Amino acid sequence: METFSVLIPDGEAPHALPVVRCLGAVPGITIHVGSARRDVKLRHSRHVSSFHLLPKRREATWLDQLCDLARATRVDLILPVHEPTVRLAVLWKERLREVCTLAPMPDLENFDRAVDKGQLAHLMKHAGIPHPHTLDCNGELEEALKQIGFSFPAIVKACRGSFGRQVYEVPSAEALFALLEKTAGDVHEYIAQPYIDGYDIDASVLCQEGRVLAWTMQRERLAIPDSFEPPLVVEFFHDDPALSQVRRLMEQLRWTGVAHIDMRYDEADQQIKVLEINARFWGSLLGSLTAGINFPYLACQIALGASPAIPISSPGLYFGRGITGRVRSEEALPYSWRRGNLPYILADPMPEVLSWWKGRAGN
């Protein structure tokens, strides 16, 4: 494909630097970055051609300044990274498309349905897609607990939470009521799901009108103890039953764009159950690249009208946090520095070097 230029409008997003490094792995792509913050690591990446300050998304001038920046840099397309920016791009897609092409993304109704865990559970129930019993914590709880035979311990989650935040484990109904009383002034609405004995399986996809074009699948091999954060080490693998569930879900949503689907294998009934969808790029994005799938590049190609050959992902471990996973492992995991973030840092060291130096100077 011919060279092209891309504008990332949310350089402050947690996964913006991995997106830049994925695009930087392909020669000939010019990357411009807009950010609501000046002090972000990726502005020092060798892959970034220009860095620009934008207003915060909630400010009225954000859209106008983003359009002005796209015109000034003459970019071919805009590629949002984080969910709030994706939603704004969906909301203002007609205006943005007057300036340049947009990365593939869903319609607003299906976006909101996917990222709201309560709405997603409702959709999966009617579609017959396996998922945990889901309790709406904003209704009549006592009666609902009796009707569905809800079991404990349970996981309580904010309907629109992410990155493992606003997630709590409660051992009983009494603890659930106490938690909800404690969070009564919270802006979030909550759901509760029974804790599932088993292990996590995640799928990362790029879709077009509900059809899965590219995918990787991973399972946790080393988790952070007593945490809902992403694992230290994952294993990329193929699993036809899990992929089948993902295909059904994406078809129901007529999904377009990237997504990361969290699932869990239930050892009790030997089923794979869908937990939630992240309508954005994900923390193990460089792991997907190591497994052979460059999701940001493929998304850009499809947006620009190309029909790229889609590779099949390769299996293997990925050490997402460098040697930390090896050091903390209780298993004899075959550590390889090539299957981690280190090669991408060595190829683009300044974001980490300057971040380290700034932290050292601050101490």
- Give domain 4-103's CATH architecture: 3-Layer(aba) Sandwich (3.40)
Determine the residue type at 112: D
Res. 327: pLDDT tops 70 = no
CB neighbour list of residue 10: distance below 8 Å, 6 or more residues apart: 16, 34, 35, 36, 57, 80, 81, 82, 84, 85
Q: Which residues contact 284 (CB under 8 A, 6 or more apart)?
A: 202, 204, 218, 230, 234, 318, 320
Residue 293 has a pLDDT of 98
Its sign, for the CA torsion 257, 262, 266, 267, is positive
Are residues 284 and 236 in contact, defined by beta-carbon separation less than 8 angstroms? no
Per-residue pLDDT band for 151 (boundaries 50, 70, 90) equals: confident
| pTM listed for this prediction | 0.92
Lowest mean pLDDT among 244-248, 253-257, 298-302, 357-361: 357-361
pLDDT of 189: 86
User: CB-based contacts of 186: which residues, under 8 Å, 6+ apart?
Assistant: 158, 166
Answer whether the bond into residue 153 is a cis peptide, omega within 30°.
yes
The 3-state secondary structure of the chain reads CCCEEEEECCCCCCCHHHHHHHHHCCCCEEEEEEECCCCCHHHHCCCEEEEEECCCCCCCCHHHHHHHHHHHHCCCEECCCCHHHHHHHHHCHHHHHCCCEECCCCCHHHHHHHHCHHHHHHHHHHHCCCCCCCEECCCCHHHHHHHHCCCCCEEEEECCCCCCCCEEEECCHHHHHHHHHHCCCCCCCEEEEECCCEEEEEEEEEEECCEEEEEEEEEEEECCCCCCCCCCEEEECCCHHHHHHHHHHHHHHCCCEEEEEEEEEECCCCEEEEEEEECCCCCCHHHHHHCCCCHHHHHHHHHCCCCCCCCCCCCEEEECCCCHHHHHCCCCCCCCCCCECHHHHHHCCHHHHHHHHHHHHHC
Domain with CATH 3.30.1490.20 in the chain: 133-194
Would you state the structure tokens that stand for residue 340, as one six-digit string? 């981690």
**Average pLDDT of the residues in 323-334:** 54
Contact 85, 257 (CB under 8 A): no
Tell me the pLDDT tens digit for each residue of 19-72.
999 999 999 999 999 999 999 999 999 999 999 999 998 888 999 999 999 999
Q: Supply the CATH classification number for the domain 198-358.
A: 3.30.470.20
The confidence score (pLDDT) of residue 251 equals 98
Domain with CATH 3.40.50.20 in the chain: 4-103
Q: What is the pLDDT of residue 354?
A: 87
Contacts of 222 (CB under 8 A, 6+ apart): 231, 232, 233, 325, 328, 329, 331, 333
**pLDDT at residue 322 greater than cutoff 60:** no
Residue found under tokens 């909630």:
58
CATH topology of domain 133-194: Dna Ligase; domain 1 (3.30.1490)
- Predicted confidence band at 320 (pLDDT cuts at 50, 70, 90)? confident
Say whether pLDDT at 148 is over 80. Answer: no
Q: Residue 325's pLDDT is what?
A: 45
C-beta of residue 21 within 8 angstroms of C-beta of residue 33: no
Residue 252 scores a pLDDT above 70: yes
Which pLDDT band, with edges at 50, 70 and 90, does 164 fall under? low
Residues 177-194 pLDDT 10s: 888 888 776 757 889 999
Q: Region 124-135: what's the mean pLDDT? A: 94
- CATH 3.30.470.20 maps onto the chain at 198-358
Q: How confident is the model at residue 203 (pLDDT cuts 50, 70, 90)?
A: very high
Average model confidence (pLDDT) for the chain? Answer: 90
Is the CB of residue 281 less than 8 Å from the CB of residue 18? yes
Q: Which of 3-7, 169-173, 219-223 has the highest average model confidence (pLDDT)?
A: 3-7
**Mean of pLDDT values over 121-129:** 96
